[in-house]
Amino acid sequence: MDTPGYILKTERERQRKSLEEIAGTLKLNIEYLKAIESEQYQNIPAEIYTKAYLRFYARELGLDSDHIIQIYHNQLPSSSAHKPASAQKSLSEGQKPRYPLKPFIIIAAVVFFILLIVFLARFRETPVETASEKMEQKATETTEPKMKEEPQLKEEPGPPGIKEQAKQEHIPETKEPELINKDLQEIAPVQGQGSKTLSLTVNAKDTVWISVGIDSNEPKEWLLKNGENVSLTASEKFIIKTGNAGGTQVIFNGKDMGVLGQKGEVSDIVLAGSGDRRP
């Protein structure tokens, strides 16, 4: 009996396409595609995402995705045998003895005490240095005014007309920097008013897998459980894929757009700055 992995791999090789090419087109992890072709479904996070990957893969090759899913269901045993690899790893890690951790704890404690001693030693030295520096600064500050005041005492009085001109020329020199600073403060906020950002919040109403591409960047994937959410920002658009449209609620720029479809349905949409929703 042909399996989904065998059918997809045979068709891919017939079309002379590589796994890297398929993964790049679908924006999916190539390791998941390898797991599908080798029937190693336990390496995929959850069964609902296995179905989503099978649908994406079949559509890319031009095959009937419903037929592939039906074959997948027929080959599964009566009991749920899909166990993610992450769960198996957590069980195996939980059985490991805790005794090997003791040497690391001891080493960490020793390093902590050494750092604490060094910190206290430096902390005691810093007040002496700062006090001496302050004394030097005060000494320089007291000598500088005296040096500046001596020439003023020796100045000979000039004609009153010259003194008045000097006072009048000296006034705008102190006020010009203040006017320039005020102008800069008024212009600075105006420059920032033109920038706009798009906001996106994805709320999980069920166990959902989502892939979101921000602007022209590479997409990121999340596996969310019921009640979890992801908040993102963009400049131009969001490219969203989900394997469970009925459990994926989208809030775009503060507007609740509801769920993206039916439960278990694969959905692929684009949300741009104009607020449109394109499949």
pLDDT in tens, 73-83: 988 764 344 54
Q: How far is residue 5 CA from its own chain's centroid?
A: 34
Sheet holding 229-234, edge to edge: 229-234, 198-204, 248-252, 255-259
Distance CA(193)–CA(232), nearest Å, equals: 21
In a domain, 61, yes or no: yes
Domain that residue 216 falls in: 198-278
CA distance 42 to 54: 14
Work out the pLDDT band at 273, boundaries 50, 70, 90.
Answer: confident
pLDDT for the residue 210: 93
For residues 68 and 54, give the distance between their C-alpha atoms in angstroms, rounded to a whole number: 7
Q: What percent of the residues of the chain are helix, what percent strand, and what percent coil, each to the nearest 5?
A: 55, 20, 25
Does the pLDDT at position 66 exceed 60?
A: yes
Q: Which of 86, 120, 145 is the last residue of a domain?
A: 86
62 within some domain: yes
Q: Does 38 reside within a domain?
A: yes
The pLDDT score that the predictor gives to residue 93 is 47
Given 70, 86, 102, the domain boundary residue is 86
- Note the pLDDT of residue 198: 93
- pLDDT at res. 166: 43
Q: Could you tell me which of 90, 78, 72, 80 has the C-alpha nearest to residue 36?
A: 72
- Give the mean pLDDT of 89-97: 46
What pLDDT score does 31 carry? 92
Among the three residues 86, 104, 131, which one is the final residue of a domain in this structure?
86
Is residue 206 predicted with pLDDT exceeding 70? Answer: yes
Count of structural domains within the chain: 2
Residues 6+ apart with CB under 8 A from 198: 233, 234, 235, 236, 237, 238, 252, 253, 271, 273
Average pLDDT, the chain: 74
Give mean pLDDT, residues 151-165. 48
Identify the residue with better confidence: 239 or 178: 239
Is residue 143 predicted with pLDDT exceeding 80? no
* Greatest mean pLDDT range, 132-141, 189-198, 249-258, 269-278: 249-258
Q: Is the pLDDT of residue 252 over 60?
A: yes
Domain contains 113: no
Residue 51 forms part of a structural domain: yes
Q: At what angle do helices 47-60 and 65-75 cross, to 10 degrees?
A: 140
The confidence score (pLDDT) of residue 1 equals: 60
pLDDT confidence band for 101 (50 / 70 / 90): low
Burial of 219 (0-12, 13-18, 19+ CB in 10 A): middle
**pTM attached to this predicted model:** 0.40
Q: How far apart are CA 242 and CA 263, in angstroms?
A: 11
> Percent of the chain, pLDDT > 90?
35
DSSP 42: G
CATH of the domain at 53: 1.10.260.40
Give me the amino acid identity at 108: A
